């Protein structure tokens, strides 16, 4: 005991990292309806690194995601596959799903589990120009023959000999799909196949999830060999995987999770903030509020705050759009809509430009995020109130701003021109007048008698030039 303590003290004094001596523990992180983005990638990678360093029995990832960015998913999968600590992906709690990118992360885990009333699937990549028949024809070629299928629906028996890449090429040619579809599909099929094969999971279902966007409930996933078990909650999961052997870098490791302390690793404030703004609805609102702030600043120069706040919102929206499949055509439509709304305040079109602006703004908002998953698109319940409210505010502010530019000046020396006053003395040609609540020295080109109404023509030094008001 004394020797161990002495060695630990010497190691600390020498600057050597000493592993955490805490009791057996399991680290837990949670992705609650989080989009897979660079932020979530950093969160998972840091949690794996922490688990490797603090001697955790394993890292449990509570997963609930609609999907997200492909590059971030690749980074997460790569880190899990090369982790020096077992990673358990648990699709939980009930009602959660591992959609799109979540499929790859779940398949890559050393242990994959699901809670009751959860689902997994729909990992089909978004391919520009793809039509609805592409996936159906593709799955008929690469799926194994199933009993009871018609001959017309039976898969090509030679597809396995030719390989997935050749099969995809044939379907692409038949469907007249762009070469990009072929590249994306080939790459994704090969990737998901290697992940499933490396973890001894159902390769054919993994292919179908990519090619046909099929999904499975927790019971179906367990029966099909997609996940290893179904557990009601986290304690049940830790009890069930106790003693399970996994392989780390070719070395078998037995999990000892029964009775282990649960240590939760939350996102830091920075990660929480960035994860929040990558939500499609939040990113959309940031873009619209940022645009409104800049328009307000341009129409009311000198205020400063709306312009600064608007620019910050736009920059945050641009950051969020990096993690979302954003359409640049949709952004152009949104910009056109805003231009038409501004033009309505300057040009008399009897509402035609405003109508066009609202339609363009609505269509651009609906098309902004291109994804087959509704959870990755901007909600219609967010779009309609935002478009209508923002349109009304922009029309009101811009109209008032441009109207003010054409109003007659009413203050200062220029504000006196055209004002009506009263002659206090006779003007022949000089005298005094009362204008705008003040007494002024004034001259007139024609005689004006005391008490008559006068009109100011101009200010000459400190003296007014007036005429008799008609």
Task: Flag whether 258 is in a domain.
Answer: yes
Positions of E strands within 133-244: 215-217, 229-230
**Do 44 and 192 reside in the same domain of the chain?**
no
Specify the length of the chain in residues: 470
Looking at the structure, do residues 114 and 224 belong to the same domain, yes or no? yes
Strand 261-264 with 25-32, pairing: parallel
If one counts the domains in the chain, the total is: 4
Asked whether 188 and 92 are in contact (CB, 8 A), the reply is: no
290 with 357, same domain: the answer is yes
> 3-state secondary structure string, 20-61?
CCCCCEEEEEEEECCCECHHHHHHHHHHHHHHHHCCCCCEEE
Q: Does residue 182 sit in the same domain as residue 253? A: no
The verdict on 221 and 84 lying in the same domain is yes
**Residue partners of 319: CB distance under 8 A and separation at least 6:** 274, 277
pLDDT at 15: 42
What was the pLDDT predicted at 106? 97
Sign of the CA dihedral with 269 first, then 331, 287, and 374 last: negative
Q: What is the pLDDT of residue 162?
A: 45
Structure confidence at residue 188 (pLDDT): 87
Number of other CB atoms surrounding residue 72 within 10 Å: 21
Instruction: Give yes or no: residues 361 and 237 share one domain.
Output: no
Domain assignment present for 18: no
Strand-strand pairing, 438-444 and 430-435: antiparallel
| Those residues with Cβ within 8 angstroms of residue 398's Cβ, 6 or more apart along the chain or in another chain | 295, 299, 341, 342, 344, 345, 346
b/e for 201-235, b at 16 or more Cβ within 10 A?
A: bbbebbbbbbbbbbbbbbebbbeeebbbbbbeebe
- Shared domain check, 373 and 244: no
Cβ pair 111, 86 in contact under 8 A:
yes
In a domain, 273, yes or no: no
Residue ending a domain, choose from 405, 438, 460: 405
The pTM assigned to this predicted structure is: 0.67
How much is the pLDDT for 285?
92
For residue 4, being part of any structural domain is answered with no
Residue 153: the pLDDT is 43
pLDDT at 203: 95
The CATH number assigned to the domain holding 102 equals 3.90.226.10
Compute the distance between CA of residue 364 and CA of residue 380 in angstroms, rounded to an integer: 12
Whether 9 is covered by a domain: the verdict is no
**Residue 389 and residue 306 share a domain:** yes
CATH of the domain at 442: 2.40.50.140
Residue 431 lies in a domain: yes
Per-residue model confidence (pLDDT) at position 172: 45
pLDDT in the model for residue 250:
82
The answer to the question of residue 3 being in a domain is no
Domain that holds residue 69: 23-122+217-267
Is 1 among the domain residues?
A: no
231 and 105 assigned to the same domain: yes
Please tell me whether residues 176 and 201 are part of one structural domain. yes
Residues 117 and 62 placed together within one structural domain of the fold? yes
Could you read off the pLDDT tens digit of each residue along the chain, which spans 470 residues?
A: 444 444 444 444 444 343 344 569 999 999 998 889 889 999 999 999 999 999 999 999 999 998 888 889 999 999 999 999 999 999 999 999 999 899 999 999 999 999 999 999 988 765 433 444 444 444 444 444 443 444 344 444 444 444 555 554 554 454 444 555 667 778 889 999 999 999 999 999 999 998 888 999 999 999 999 999 999 999 999 999 999 999 998 889 999 999 899 999 999 999 999 888 988 899 999 998 898 888 778 777 666 788 899 999 999 998 888 777 788 889 899 889 888 877 876 776 777 888 888 899 899 988 888 766 666 788 888 888 888 888 887 777 666 666 655 555 555 556 677 788 889 898 888 899 998 778 888 988 888 888 889 988 888 878 888 888 87
Q: Which domain-ending residue is among 405, 427, 460?
A: 405
My answer on whether 103 and 245 are in the same domain is: yes
């Amino acid at each position: 005991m004394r020797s161990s303590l002495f060695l630990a003290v010497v190691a600390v004094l020498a600057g050597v990292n000493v592993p955490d001596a805490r009791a057996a523990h399991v680290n837990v992180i949670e992705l609650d309806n989080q989009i897979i983005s660079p932020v979530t990638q950093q969160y998972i990678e840091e949690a794996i690194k922490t688990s490797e360093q603090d001697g955790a029995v394993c890292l449990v990832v509570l997963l609930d995601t609609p999907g997200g960015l492909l590059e971030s998913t690749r980074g997460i999968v790569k880190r899990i596959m090369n982790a020096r600590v077992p990673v358990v992906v648990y699709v939980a709690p009930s009602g959660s799903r591992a959609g799109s990118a979540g499929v790859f992360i779940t398949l890559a885990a050393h242990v994959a589990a699901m809670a009751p009333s959860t689902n997994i699937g729909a990992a089909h990549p978004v391919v520009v120009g793809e039509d609805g028949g592409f996936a159906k024809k593709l799955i008929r070629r690469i799926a194994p023959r199933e009993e009871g299928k018609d001959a017309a629906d039976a898969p090509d028996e030679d597809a396995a000999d030719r390989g997935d890449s050749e099969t995809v090429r044939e379907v692409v040619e038949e469907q007249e799909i762009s070469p990009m579809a072929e590249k994306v599909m080939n790459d994704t099929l090969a990737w998901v196949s290697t992940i499933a094969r490396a973890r001894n999971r159902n390769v054919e279902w993994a292919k179908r999830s990519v090619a046909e966007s099929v999904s499975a409930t927790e019971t179906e996933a367990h029966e099909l060999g997609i996940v290893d078990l179904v557990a009601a909650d986290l304690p049940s999961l830790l009890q069930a995987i106790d003693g399970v052997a996994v392989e780390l870098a070719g070395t078998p490791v037995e999990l000892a999770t029964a009775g282990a302390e649960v240590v939760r690793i939350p996102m830091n404030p920075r990660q929480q903030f960035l994860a929040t703004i990558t939500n499609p609805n939040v990113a959309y609102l940031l873009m619209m509020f940022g645009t409104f702030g800049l328009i307000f600043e341009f129409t009311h120069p000198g205020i400063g705050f709306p312009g600064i706040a608007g620019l910050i919102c736009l920059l945050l929206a641009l950051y969020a759009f990096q993690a979302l499949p954003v359409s640049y055509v949709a952004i152009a439509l949104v910009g056109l809509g805003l231009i038409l709304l501004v033009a309505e305040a300057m040009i008399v079109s009897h509402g035609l430009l405003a109508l066009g602006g609202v339609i363009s703004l609505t269509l651009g908002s609906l098309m902004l995020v291109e994804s087959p998953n509704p959870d990755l698109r901007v909600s219609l319940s967010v779009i309609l109130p935002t478009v209508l409210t923002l349109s009304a505010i922009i029309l009101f502010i811009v109209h008032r701003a441009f109207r003010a530019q054409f109003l007659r000046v009413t203050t200062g020396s220029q504000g006196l021109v055209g004002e009506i006053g009263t002659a206090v003395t006779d003007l022949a040609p000089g005298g005094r007048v009362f204008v705008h609540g003040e007494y002024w020295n004034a001259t007139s080109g024609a005689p004006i008698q005391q008490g008559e109404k006068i009109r100011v023509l101009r200010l000459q030094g400190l003296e007014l030039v007036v005429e008799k008001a008609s």
